[in-house]
Amino acid sequence: MADDAAPTRADRVRLYLDTLRARMDPDEFRLLGRLLSGAVRSLAAAEDAYVVELGEQRVSRQVQEEFLAVLSIVATGTMEHRLVDLGDGAVTVLDAAAAENPVAVRRMREWAARQRGGGAG
């Protein structure tokens, strides 16, 4: 990457993964890599549904959240996103503006509750 060039989407993903490699447990980082590889293959297949097979593998909350964060960078090309707890262990990624908007967060939580059958909203 040239000094005066803006970082590309791939540069941002690499930078984020490099920081994760330095701070994550090596086994969890390897698992994250396998999950990301499966997700990219699934997305490249251009199917209507995207599935990442886990088998019997237990995925920690940190790996789940970093998986979402990396895919958000891949999808948007920006690191300006926030993880938002939706309740009952569900997490989503919102852009920074939406994550700071209490009404938007409440609507997302209500939508998630309806999807789980909780009927909130």
Q: Give the per-residue pLDDT at 119.
A: 56
Range 78-87, long-range pairs (CB < 8 A, 24+ positions): 78/12, 79/12, 79/16, 84/108, 86/112, 86/113, 87/112, 87/113
pLDDT tens sequence across 17-69? 999 999 999 999 999 999 998 888 877 777 666 666 666 778 899 999 999 99
Neighbours of 73 (CB within 10 A): 22
* Whole-number Å distance between alpha carbons of 48 and 121: 28
Alpha helix segments (H runs only) across 45-115 = 61-76, 96-99, 102-115
* Whole-number Å distance between alpha carbons of 105 and 60: 24
Please report, for the chain, the start and end positions of each structural domain, with discontinuous segments joined by +: 9-115
Q: Is the pTM of this model over 0.85?
A: no
pLDDT tens sequence across 79-105? 999 999 998 888 999 999 999 999 999
